[in-house]
Amino acid sequence: MTERASEPQHHRSGTSRAVAARADRKDRFTGRPQVRPTAEGWKQPMGTDGRPTLQFAQKPRVKQPPMHLADMTMAERQEKMKELGLPAFRAKQISVHYFTHHTTDPEKMSDLPKDRKQEIVETFFPPLLTEVKRLVTDDGRTIKFLWRLFDGALVESVLMRYPKRITLCISSQCGCGMNCPFCATGQNGLTRNMSTAEILDQIVQANRIITEGALGGTRHEGPDAERVNNIVFMGMGEPLANYKRVMNAVHRMVADQPEGLGMSARGITVSTVGLVPAIRKLADEGVPFTFALSLHAPDDELRDDLIPVNSRWKVDEALDAAREYYDKTGRRVSIEYALIKDMNDHPWRADLLADKLNARGRGWVHVNPIPLNPTPGSIWTSSTRQATNEFIDRLEAKGIPTTLRDTRGKEIDGACGQLAAAND
């Protein structure tokens, strides 16, 4: 991610002529305008076939972040301690410092031998995330962080307080190879996958910041102290393109303390733009997290352009894989659908979506339409209230459980669907 990624990523200047040009195509059923998805203010990388490029693996020979305690299982931490000539129980002690007290400061580790403390900390806690910028909004209820990683790469996470939970939106990759036209994250492709520890450290840092009182509240210490209890992968990256490290991180989020963070799996949402082979693997992880498919269009004609990975795996294949996830886990799947004016909000699309979901059975899925912020002059703008209501009514009329999100003023950036889940 570039620094710019911490700012709204789509640009709005000079768009009105382009909008007019694109909007004069008419929807084939209703005669309503059909706006085609296209990047605004930046150039979407295209392949020789004229399609947006897709990148599934990180660039070769990219330097990996140093090994950190959060990359290791408890057994591996104990092994490492033994290598240092220290007893295995020290592994548990430093795990408590990190996962329970959210500290890597040797001064706060009074239970470690004084003469070895520095060495232990240097071995297990190489610095992973350095805070570059902090943006506080919503009367202190939302904090957006920009972090610099060991190699200079920048990623962000967003911490949000809701009446009954604290949500953290995290990044899983530096850059992204999925090249969605509404999200400039993809314009430089994928630089590298984040490590398991880099993914987890976003949560540990957020917990530390809550403990320091930066998100308000009063319960900062003790057994009922407030912590992040809701995780969505809505930051940079497509989580399932970094499958192994993301799943290791999820396993460590739910592992009991001090092996991991001791979080409830039900507060974790793993979402994807539709990497079908990876969706098929998810069910075997044995962790009851929520799975969300960021669909945003029920027809391949539109989705091929809106979510370029659709040229690899079509709508029906993604929905079949989502249904399989439900069959194997019994966990209801979320379908994320950002409502974009005159692009994907036509009533027939609501009908088609409902029909495709119902064709795969009842009770296995619910749809979360995501209202966007109004962005005058951009093609990436919110549906009218009337179009939104009709879309929802049509889904509900066909028996599809539907929840309109309260998106706390979000824009489409990062609307890979993680966005919606953040506001569950």
Residues tagged in the binding site annotation: 176, 180, 183, 237-238, 271, 294-296, 373
Amino acid at 388: T
Min dist. Cβ of residue 236 to ligand SF4 (A): 6
Site map 400..419 versus ligand SF4, x via CB under 6 A: ----------------x---
For the four alpha carbons of 337, 340, 346 and 349, in that order, the dihedral sign comes to negative
Using an 8 Å Cβ cutoff, are 94 and 102 in contact? no
Q: Tell me how far apart the alpha carbons of residues 78 and 89 are, in angstroms, rounded to a whole number.
A: 7
Establish if 279 lies at the interface with ligand SF4 (CB under 6 A). Answer: no
Span of 44-52, 130-138, 230-238, 277-285 interacting with ligand SF4 by CB under 6 A: 230-238
CA distance 415 to 296: 9
Kind plus residue range of the DSSP H or E element containing 317? helix 315-329
> Under rule CB under 6 A, how many of the chain's residues touch ligand SF4?
12
Nearer to ligand SF4 (CB atom), residue 226 or residue 411: 411
Residue 193 Cβ vs ligand SF4, minimum distance, rounded to whole Å: 13
Which residues carry a binding-site annotation for [4Fe-4S] cluster? 176, 180, 183
Please select the residue that binds ligand SF4; options are 215, 236, 292, 379, rule is CB under 6 A. Answer: 236
The closest alpha carbon to 413, from 10, 59, 3, 92, belongs to: 10
Whichever of 53 and 93 has its CB closer to ligand SF4, that residue is 53
Report d(CA 344, CA 390) in Å as an integer: 13
Using CA atoms, how far apart are residues 411 and 158, in angstroms rounded to an integer? 14
Pairing between strand 268-272 and 290-294? parallel
> Is the CB of 103 or the CB of 382 nearer to ligand SF4?
382
What is the distance of C-alpha 402 from the center of its chain?
21
Collect all residues with Cβ–Cβ distance below 8 Å to 23 and sequence separation of at least 6.
Answer: 33, 34, 35, 342, 379
Judged by CB under 6 A, does residue 268 bind ligand SF4?
no
364 near 332, Cβ under 8 Å? yes
Phi then psi for 340, rounded to 5 degrees? -115, 125
**Which x/- pattern, by CB under 6 A, does the window 93-132 give for ligand SF4?**
----------------------------------------
CB atoms within 10 A of CB 343: 27
d(CA 257, CA 148): 27
Helices (H) and strands (E) in the chain, counts: 12, 11
Cβ 283 vs Cβ 329: under 8 Å: yes
The answer to whether residue 416 is catalytic is yes
| Identity of the residue, 42 or 348, whose beta carbon is nearer to ligand SF4 in the bound complex | 42
Please pick, from the candidates 91, 153, 273, 333, the single residue that binds ligand SF4 as defined by CB under 6 A.
273
Choice among 40, 156, 198, 411 that is catalytic: 156
Binding-site residues for S-adenosyl-L-methionine, please?
A: 237-238, 271, 294-296, 373
Sites for ligand SF4 among residues 174-203 (CB under 6 A) = 176, 178-180, 183, 185-186
Q: Quick one: 65 or 186, whose CB is closer to ligand SF4?
A: 186
| Beta-bridge mates of residue 402 | 367
CB 399, min distance to ligand SF4, A: 30
Helix pair angle (74-83, 117-124), 10° resolution: 130
Of these residues, 198, 336, 411, 416, which one is catalytic?
416
Query: C-beta of 69: minimal distance to ligand SF4 in Å?
Result: 28
174 is catalytic: no
Among residues 71, 198, 238, 259, which is the contact residue for ligand SF4, using CB under 6 A?
A: 238
Residues lying near ligand SF4 in the complex (CB under 6 A): 176, 178-180, 183, 185-186, 236-238, 273, 416
The residues annotated with a catalytic role in the active site are 156, 416
